[in-house]
Structure 1
């Protein structure tokens, strides 16, 4: 086990013993705000050093008496923790809860520029509170985090991987925390397919833990690509490429921390409900060339929110789909995860949105994901919808992801299960261009729009063999008798209830 991993494990063990912490969601949230403040300190110290070399003065974001080395880890002349000045116990709790957090929360109200780091700090802490109950617990954690070096690229990389594991663990906890984590294998395949490049703007209107934006950043800055980037390319990637919104305060904190740890220093991600924007007001200048997202589904929105959309519906998946359609630039490309019901449902709202999608966009690919991709927090079967704004749809290429085993919490989907899809996506000539059963086993097929009925876009794999369990006549007769006996028992119970 690495030294960095050992430190994070120690922190989670310490937090589990604290009375204010309950489950992975809480301890990941609390680790996040402390890590963020240590990162901010190291970032500011680095910027200050650069300013000195350039003969300039650096204006710190955090005031002198509230910086990390003043309260979290004051040092003596030997560089060791100054025990006389290091707050702990009740004194530390009062400082954090009464002085420090209100100061950080006030940043957003005192800053007009949403792109400034002050505004983003204020947005992070606006709905965030310290849940750690013991000042002695917090002191232990501060001492460990102070030893982490955010200016070391190797340590930062390792910490980003560990943080990703924490987010995955938070998702595995189930409940609402699951909405923040999409399996990295699925995200990677989607990002590789849409192929973001320098000059693109990448957007996610339901950021969660920012897995899509992080993967897009890593794809665009892989070692072989990074060496070819100019200084202006790098500046553009850092400041003018990644955009998004996240509704929940917890998701926003997780997402910002995840992006920062992976090297995106200034993402254009804001806290807010994407669906509160009236999409009729969206103009070409507001749109993005690449959209990748896994928006929340199964939720319900109020009538007031529904009025922001031409096709009103209380289903969040239909509202988000309309939002993403409106947010896509001319010639832009999108990959969106949707519940399977969107493809086959034929009520008025679903049908109208699908009609607009097929006629106004090129829905060129639909990937059928296997059941269990989002276990344990959701068993809903999902699909990936790929479309671009280059004209109307003429035909749809389908791919059926079929792992060799049933997906469970402990046997999740892997990138290898999606690798053939990515290869075929990039090599159009190798795809199956027909919608008919073939002698060889295939997981892809193509359907002309003219063959679709009632805008039913569901994936019906013509190659899949449905296995039927053929019972012998004796076993079949026995099963019928069992069912009849059970029906008789239930009818008798119902009659008794009526006669009572």
Structure 2
């Protein structure tokens, strides 16, 4: 559980940045991400050194040798003051310096070091080329380093109490990232972690998949897919139940082959985003969670540029919550789309159908308007889903899932790619499910409730998907394609739900009025009696 003490310490860290003039939440989280990243690198490297000594594995520390500001210099021509022992770049080393010396070392050596961690061909290195360390105050850096150490000390306390370390660390980053969702700019806002878990449980990514989020932001869906895979391959004795009722594990001890781990951490997770800052944060977020080479690129997946970068049918899993209200200039829009309207919520569905390999599966969040919109573009996209794919499920979400950022009603679409631009329908029936609660209050506070309805939703999907549920008064049922066609391909839950109306009997108005007059008389007599008593 994320403690109030931990929240307080994170809020104090935010306040330090605010009071020192870094007031833009995106700028602050980017700079804090750099510091978290630097500290975690030291910690992970130390942990791997200890593990290699115990297992006798051959591990080479990233802090071995010397770091040169100009790597092209030869050993004989090293410029004085431009080379440093990499051990001095560790968090545990520079945090002992006085504030001025610390700022100089971090600015001059540590930050350039983390910018050049991976080869130039990797997305991380490309995204970090223009990154700038904006902390110029020695006092702010000193205060931030101490605050982050205090946060990690609190994490260690929770670890000692039985809380999984990686989950708690993820919660810290998740809490920090909350500051990015200021009013849901351009329809972009973070997806709650438990909703990502729900989609991961349903889509069920595995170690053989190539997983993509075409509008990945901070990488939440990619991280959710990774944690789902780790849980699948963690022995039962190492699993625990999280606050949402899901079984979770971070060990992955049933993955025993090094080449499988290498593929999982280097060639499994792909993402794209149009915001360079989000790309950097997403890359660091995944690396912080031990995904060594995440493939997140700075690119608009709806553009012609993406078409020239990558072909269709590349991924076996797509999980996403694309922007709801965005627009793209028609001059930049890909020529592959089957609709000519620049609505991103529609174009992203089309793009995901193109991205999926035949047999590949997607779980995507869409605004409910996509499901019932009467425009030709809306209807064409729904037809494409039913023809090119087997549309397996439409899961209606409560209206408050994305509060306090938006109250828009949304749904999850689950579909499996069959054939691109098919000439016939590959969907015979669609399973509809209404999620009445996500386990949190549906107001702006979003407090955790006692019940955990999400595992029930996953269980219903897995158990009922092959059965013909004809009773439509309940929480889930099937609708045949023929009926969906008759309703202009409407895919909203309420369109097909059967409501039980019970006839209510009321007394005649004359009798009701008589009773009201009698009540009024009794009240008047009581008031007169009370008045006599107090005189």
TM-score tier after normalising by the smaller chain length: 0.7 to 0.9
1:367 to partner: Cα distance: 0.8
Instruction: State the Cα deviation string for residues 240-285 of structure 1 (Å, max 9, x = none).
Output: 221111221332233223323333222222222222245598546x
Tell me if structure 2 keeps the 8 A contact 1:21–1:131: no
- 1:402 counterpart residue number: 436
Tell me if structure 2 keeps the 8 A contact 1:369–1:382: yes
Tell me if structure 1 keeps the 8 A contact 2:212–2:318: yes
Equivalent residues in 2 for 1:343-354, closer than 5 Å: 343-354=371-382
Tell me if structure 1 keeps the 8 A contact 2:440–2:447: no
- 2:235 counterpart residue number: 224
Distance (whole Å) between structure 2 residues aligned to residue 243 and residue 37 of structure 1: 23
The CA RMSD over aligned residues, in Å, is: 4.0
Tell me if structure 2 keeps the 8 A contact 1:73–1:142: no
Is 1:298 aligned to 2:325, yes or no?
yes
- 1:136 counterpart residue number: 139
Tell me if structure 2 keeps the 8 A contact 1:299–1:315: yes
1:361 to partner: Cα distance: 0.8
Higher alpha-carbon deviation: 270-279 or 140-149: 140-149
Equivalent residues in 2 for 1:154-173, closer than 5 Å: 155-171=165-181, 173=182
1:136 to partner: Cα distance: 1.1
1:387 to partner: Cα distance: 0.5
Is 1:341 aligned to 2:360, yes or no?
no
> TM-score normalized by structure 1?
0.76
Specify whether residues 261 and 27 from structure 1 end up closer, same or farther in structure 2 by C-alpha distance, changes over 3 A only: same
- 1:39 counterpart residue number: 40
Is 1:445 aligned to 2:472, yes or no?
no
Tell me if structure 2 keeps the 8 A contact 1:367–1:383: yes
1:372 to partner: Cα distance: 1.6
Distance (whole Å) between structure 1 residues aligned to residue 299 and residue 308 of structure 2: 18
- 1:21 counterpart residue number: 23
Specify whether residues 471 and 255 from structure 1 end up closer, same or farther in structure 2 by C-alpha distance, changes over 3 A only: farther
> TM-score normalized by structure 2?
0.72
- 1:241 counterpart residue number: 268
Tell me if structure 2 keeps the 8 A contact 1:184–1:211: yes
**Structure 2 unaligned spans of 5+:** 69-82, 237-251, 420-425, 510-535
- 1:198 counterpart residue number: 207
How many equivalent pairs are there? Answer: 450
Is 1:69 aligned to 2:84, yes or no?
no
Is 1:364 aligned to 2:364, yes or no?
no
Instruction: State the Cα deviation string for residues 151-186 of structure 1 (Å, max 9, x = none).
Output: x99655432222222223543x43439834101221
Distance (whole Å) between structure 2 residues aligned to residue 429 and residue 345 of structure 1: 26
**Structure 1 unaligned spans of 5+:** 475-500
Specify whether residues 351 and 6 from structure 1 end up closer, same or farther in structure 2 by C-alpha distance, changes over 3 A only: closer
Tell me if structure 1 keeps the 8 A contact 2:360–2:417: yes
Specify whether residues 399 and 273 from structure 1 end up closer, same or farther in structure 2 by C-alpha distance, changes over 3 A only: same
Distance (whole Å) between structure 1 residues aligned to residue 110 and residue 309 of structure 2: 39
Greater Rg by CA: 2
- 1:477 counterpart residue number: none
- 1:418 counterpart residue number: 454
